[in-house]
Amino acid sequence: MRQLSAFLRKEGMELIRTGKIWILLIIFILFGIMNPAIAKLTPWMVETMSDSLAESGMVLTEVKVNAMTSWNQFYKNISIALIIFALMLSGILTTEYQKGTLVNMLTKGLIRWKVVGAKSIASIGLWTVCYWLCYGITYGYNMYFWNNGIASHVAFAAFCVYLLGIWVMLLILLISTLLNTASGVLAVTGVAVIASYVAGMFGKIGEYLPIRLLSAGNLLAGSMSPEDFWKAIAVALASGVVFFVLSVACFNRKNIG
């Protein structure tokens, strides 16, 4: 465990040194503030545009906003935030290959699975902090301005998207044990996610795909129920474990340096 904790400290220092942790925290904080801010400003923006639109024959009725408006904005923005997060952490292992920093540590006795373990803990830990910080800011502002009681299954919907983020991070880690460049990792991850999204459009297979968790925002309006996501949650959890086990197996066989 000393090796694992030491490598985790090294990962934390690397995230701080490169500034990635601060960039991601700022981005997620901004998204958390933007969600209620955009909802709050929507009536003002519509009123500002109403005169010019009236001249062209379009009449806008009064726009009413509430917590649902802000939550809808949250689920639109969080997919963008997840993409940014994946971009920032796509080189979590490939950067080590290119710099050759793992060679000395491995020759000195660092057990390989602990590298994969530390990388997964660091990425999931950072995702946890960033995601729930963004969620907490939006939730707090929604409580202050409106009432979150208007939305159904708020916490469960948030958990679904959080789990999808973990699944994506574990997928990136697995691909990183197979490829040597961050661009390659991003390309394969993107293809896998897009293929999953497209496959979900056909038949009942979509109920089992983890990408379905991204539509958890529909729970808030009651257009979907928690039962619609249990299969996708089970597959995400099971495949996440498989990704981690395969990552360890592939990394144990990988020629480094």
pLDDT value of residue 42: 76
Statement: residue 35 has pLDDT above 60: yes
Q: How far apart are CA 78 and CA 193, in angstroms?
A: 16
Mean pLDDT along residues 205-233: 93
Is the pLDDT score of 198 beyond 70? yes
pLDDT at 60 over 70: no
Task: Quote the mean pLDDT of the chain.
Answer: 90
Q: Cα(90)–Cα(45) distance, rounded to whole angstroms?
A: 38
Q: Mean per-residue pLDDT for 86-101?
A: 89
Q: What pTM value is reported for the model?
A: 0.92
Least confident of 41-50, 113-122, 140-149: 41-50
Question: Which residues does 36 contact at the CB level (< 8 Å), separation at least 6?
Answer: 70, 73, 138, 141, 142, 145
Give the pLDDT mean for 4-16: 89
Task: Copy the structure tokens of residue 20.
Answer: 């990635």
Domain boundaries, the chain: 2-253
Radius of gyration of the chain (CA): 21
- Long-range CB contacts for residues 22-29, cutoff 8 Å, separation at least 24: 23/88, 24/84, 24/85, 24/88, 24/126, 24/130, 25/129, 25/130, 25/133, 27/81, 27/84, 27/130, 28/81, 28/130, 28/131, 28/133, 28/134, 29/133, 29/134, 29/137
Does the pLDDT at position 105 exceed 80? yes
Looking at residues 135-163, what average pLDDT do you find? Answer: 95
Give the pLDDT of residue 108: 83
